[in-house]
Amino acid sequence: MTGRATLRWLLGHALGCEPAAIPLRRGVRGRPELDTARGPDFNVSHTGEVALICIGTALERAERVGVDIERVDRRVNTDGLSRRVLTEHEREALAAFDDDARRRQLLRLWTCKEAMSKATGDALSAPFRRIHIATDERLRLISGPEPYTPGRWRLLSVAVPEEFFATLAVWRSR
C-alpha cells in the first residue's frame, strides 16, 4: 500500500468514512490537509520506502502536528547541513563528537526541526538556524522566533525501528 493510500485508509477509519471520500488537498507549500473545516490534523513523512503518518485525533482545535523520519545511516554533508540548519550553540556542541556521532546528532536535530516546520506549514522556509533544540534528557525547544517559541511546542521521539530517527512535533498555534 502506498503512503497516500495508507493515509486515506487511516483518515477514513478516524473519520468513519470510506477512504475515497476523504477530501484531501495540498495547502501552502504542499502540506497535505483536509479540504474541510472539521477533522483531525495530520502529517506524513517518507524516507525511502518507509512512511510515518500521524493523525492527531486527540488534539485540541488550535494544535497541529508535524512528523519527520530519517534513516540513522543517511549520508549527509555534516558541515554543510550544520551551517544551514543549526544554531551556533548547536554547532559548537556537535564539535565535541566524533564524525559518526556528529552526523547522527545532526540527523536527530534535523528530524526535530523538520517536524516543527511541517507542523507550521513553513516547510523548508522555516528559520532553522534560529531554532535551538536540546536532545540531552528529552527533546525540547530551547528558543526560537515566533511561532517557534518554547511554550507552544511538544517534541516527542517516536518509537521506530533502530535504523531510524523519528520525531513528532505538536504545535499550539494560539
- Full residue range of the structural domain in which residue 94 is found: 3-172
**Total number of domains constituting the chain:** 1
Give start and end residues of each alpha helix (H) in 52-146: 78-85, 88-94, 99-120
- pLDDT by residue, tens only, the chain of 174 residues: 577 889 999 999 988 999 999 988 888 888 888 887 677 899 999 998 899 999 987 777 668 999 999 999 999 999 999 999 999 999 999 999 999 999 999 999 999 999 999 999 999 999 999 999 999 889 999 999 999 999 999 999 999 999 999 999 999 877
Instruction: Say what the pLDDT of residue 62 is.
Output: 67
* CATH code of residue 110: 3.90.470.20
CB 148, CB 125: distance < 8 Å: no
**Residue 74 in contact with residue 107, Cβ under 8 Å?**
yes
Report the predicted TM-score, pTM, of the whole model to 2 decimal places.
0.92
